[in-house]
Amino acid sequence: MSRAEQALELVDELDLERYQGTWYEIARLPNRFQSDCAGAVSAHYQLRADGRVDVTNRCRRTDGGWIEAQGVARRADDDGSPAALEVRFAPHWLSFLPFVWGDYRVIALGEDYDHALVGSEDREFLWVLARERELPQATFDRLIERARSQGFDTDQLVRTQQSP
């Protein structure tokens, strides 16, 4: 079994209260959802009373305008790990359909919740996130090595332009 076929190794704990707030995208694997994003990519997470998380993703488009997507995240039912989440951007009335929920797996997390590595089980999605618009190169390199060791094609990563 190849490394990409094995289950991801996730962080042991994920405190959603500490995880909430704004995260800046430092890098990502290219994906169709973000094909029009030219930079200034951020995600804001707000913990709800029901334990789910409101998600607002935002980016600057190639034409200078802005894209904003609203979603919701929940703990994954099929995994006992607190770091295994699912996120949905489809309308609420479609939430009963399993395929509208995408993997959101926290693979690495800074001790102070200052950076994170998030991906999907199929290794098609990967994001390097940080609380600041920049991440020290040594930290970035460690995260990329962790992703590579878990079967992600890190040669395809795109660095995000994070101008204020």
Residue-wise pLDDT tens digits, 6-54: 889 999 999 999 999 999 999 999 988 888 899 999 999 999 999 999 9
Question: Would 154 be classed as within a structural domain?
Answer: no
Question: Would 162 be classed as within a structural domain?
Answer: no
Question: Would 114 be classed as within a structural domain?
Answer: yes
Q: Is the dihedral angle over the CA atoms 146, 151, 155, 159 positive or is it negative?
A: negative
How large is the average pLDDT for residues 62-84? Answer: 86
In 10 A of CB 126, how many CB atoms? 25
Question: Would 156 be classed as within a structural domain?
Answer: no
For the chain, what is the domain count? 1
Question: Would 19 be classed as within a structural domain?
Answer: yes
> What is the reported pTM?
0.90
- Which residues are CB-neighbours of 19 under 8 A, at least 6 positions away? 45, 53, 106, 113, 116
Q: Which domain holds residue 76?
A: 3-121
**Do 23 and 116 contact (CB within 8 A), yes or no?**
yes
Per-residue confidence band for 163, with pLDDT thresholds at 50, 70 and 90: confident
Burial class (CB in 10 A: 0-12, 13-18, 19+), 147: buried
**pLDDT tens digits, residue range 101-145?**
578 899 999 999 999 999 999 999 999 999 999 999 999 999 999
pLDDT of residue 13: 94
Question: Would 163 be classed as within a structural domain?
Answer: no
CA distance 4 to 126: 13
Question: Would 140 be classed as within a structural domain?
Answer: no
CA distance 2 to 23: 32
Domain of 45, CATH number, reads 2.40.128.20
Q: DSSP code of 83?
A: T
